[in-house]
Amino acid sequence: MTDSHNYPKTPLPSETPSYHSDKLGTEENNLAGLQRKLNARHLTFISLGSVIGTGIFLGIGNALVTAGPVGLVLAYAVICSVVYCVMLCVGEMVTYLPVVGAHLRLSARFVDPSLSAAMSWNYWYCWALIAAVEASAVAVLMTYWTDAVNSGAWIAICLAVTLGVNLCGPRVYAEVECYMSSIKVLTIVGLIVLSIAMDAGAGSDGEVIGFRHWTDPGPFVQYQDVPSRLGQFLGFFSGLTTAAFSSIGAEMLALVAAETRNPRVIVPRALKATWIRVVLFYFLGAFCVSLIVPSNELRLGSASTASASPYVIAIENAGIKVLPHIINACILTSALSAGISDLFTATRTLHAMAGSGLAPKLFSQTTSWGCPWIAVLATWSIGLLAFLTVGSSAAGVFIFLVKLTALSGVITWECIAVTYLRFRAGMKAQQVPKSVLPWKSGFSTIGAWWIIIVISSVLLFSGWPVFKQGNWSTADFFGNYLPLMIFVAVYGGFKVGTRSRFVRASEMDLTSGLEEIERRTKQCEEEDEAKKAAKPRSRVATVLRRLVA
């Protein structure tokens, strides 16, 4: 922990830059009714489990079909590096200034208030829609066991549970997420171990698979029958976009930083678990899938239940009974957990927007236990769109909305990279040494540029198939590019309406709230030391102390 006297001095009111009008104020005022009820255990499990959704169990199969086994591994390797870089960038900023809204609000201080507005609205509707997607996924997953119950009933139950958990406040949400994350983590770890065992011949026939599927049907797929290396590259790029879309949400951890008791100590601990999530859950999971299932397996992507999961397909091929039902139950848990987390994330986004004047003030109202209940209800109402899937005529509209969420999520990553680069530029211009950062990495600046390169490619070329001759689809075109259009339109609208200006590095506000943050950090450390000193010694410790004496 860096000593408080090393931090840059907070400017006097007359010295504060004139652009600073987003109502950030002191760190205490930033809470706006929220409470610090989350501890290190909560953040660790949220960090590990927040991004484990249906995509890691089902979506990875679609990437295998389009990219091939080697293309799949390479695609996930690239996206894993991007996810890690995102966490490095957001980690440095949020541990330095753990404010409500995290990177969404810091972008106003470091880049442009209009960028903060565009990021916030983009982030809010993205996660509000994804919560609806997860509710519909629960209904589809239940069809693995029965079709007798109308899907609308399962959607209603899922939405009710999601609303109930979020209305109970951050502490209940964190506890529920801890238990559900434990199930998800155990599931993915178990599937990876089982995949390695099946590849080594643990199936009923005892056949060793090895790297057979890397050569037959081949390491890459000729995407849409495009010939030569170009087709293989396009297959890899398709896998890259799928991997990116299934990995969004890694930055969720930053949004709950302000609701922790001592974010400057707790958040870095949770960030240290990032490599586990990236390497174990994503890369190793993709690597195992590339070994156990061929890319030309017809069942891949044929359904939205466990029957289309590459893990289940491999288990069935190995002749192992019962496990597919257990896996479907675990995927069901993942979908429900993801829906709860998505609503929590979107709610905190709307609450932060209300506090900074980007949304109506009423959304900042909270209960006595720290729940922004009006923001929860407003955001939850977007989840009612999941009922569109009940009617076949409206299902197409819902699928279109699903496509919007994918690109909206990766837009946030790009904005985080831009915000971080401006943050570092401000520190350099104002001669603030990097040593003052409570948590830092030597690769963050390079990582920010890497994020921009990869995500810009995904944003610009994700919809390239619609431009092929005879392959035009208006729905696919807008599904791929409408989020980018909306983002630019919102940014431009706020830019014109508020006449905000780009923040100069020399005028950047790097100090507001620092004194309050540092005071609370010191207070928490003193309280922890007092509790540690007051804790009674165990009998073993007492005996050992006497023996030494």
For the segment 164-175, what is each residue's pLDDT rounded down to a tens digit? Answer: 999 998 888 888
Q: Are 100 and 352 in contact (CB under 8 A)?
A: yes
pLDDT of residue 113: 94
Q: Given this model, what pLDDT does residue 69 score?
A: 94
What one-character DSSP code corresponds to residue 222?
A: -
State the average pLDDT for the chain: 82
pLDDT band at 549 (very low <50, low <70, confident <90, very high): very low
Q: What is the reported pLDDT for 408?
A: 86
Determine the pLDDT at residue 25: 41
Question: Residue 6 pLDDT > 60, yes or no?
Answer: no
Determine contact, residues 47/179, Cβ cutoff 8 Å: no
Least confident stretch, 36-45, 297-306, 429-438: 36-45
Distances (CA, A) of 270 to 40, 162, 171, 241, 251: 7, 24, 17, 27, 12
Confidence bin at 50 (pLDDT 50/70/90): low
Instruction: Look at the chain and count its residues.
Output: 549
Asked whether residue 4 carries a pLDDT value surpassing 50, the answer given is: no
CA atoms within 13 A of residue 188's CA, in its CB half-sphere: 30
The pTM of this model reads 0.86
When mean pLDDT is compared over 157-171, 229-243, 357-371, 504-518, the highest value belongs to 157-171
> Which is more confidently placed, 456 or 544?
456
Is residue 345 packed enough to be buried (19+ CB in 10 Å), middle (13-18) or exposed (0-12)?
buried
pLDDT at 538 over 70: no
Range of lowest pLDDT (38-52, 284-298, 502-516): 38-52
Q: Is residue 395 within 8 Å of 388, Cβ to Cβ?
A: yes
* Greatest mean pLDDT range, 7-21, 195-209, 344-358, 469-483: 344-358
- The pLDDT of 189-194, averaged and rounded, is 90
Q: What is the pLDDT of residue 100?
A: 77
Are the C-beta atoms of 52 and 281 separated by less than 8 Å? yes
Res 495: pLDDT? 94
pLDDT number for residue 262:
79
Of the two residues 223 and 8, the one the predictor is more confident about is: 223
Higher per-residue pLDDT: 156 or 3: 156
Tokens of 53: 């959704």
% of the chain residues with pLDDT over 70: 83
**pLDDT value of position 422:** 96
DSSP secondary structure string for all residues of 107-146:
HHHHT-HHHHHHHHHHHHHHHHHHHHHHHHHHHHHHTTT-
334 — pLDDT class (breaks 50, 70, 90): confident
- Which residue is it, tokens 């591994």? 73
Cα separation, 491 vs 493, in Å, equals 5
Q: Which of 16-20, 148-152, 389-393 has the lowest mean pLDDT?
A: 16-20
pLDDT over 50 (residue 448):
yes
CA distances from 299 to 49, 61, 72, 303, 468 (A): 27, 9, 17, 8, 27
CA distance 62 to 69: 11
Whether the per-residue pLDDT at 302 is higher than 90: the answer is: no
Judge whether 509 and 96 are in contact, CB under 8 Å.
no
3-state SS, 359-407, equals CCHHHHCCCCCCCCHHHHHHHHHHHHHHHHHHCHHHHHHHHHHHHHHHH
Share of the chain above pLDDT 90, in %: 28
102 compared with 22, residue with greater pLDDT: 102
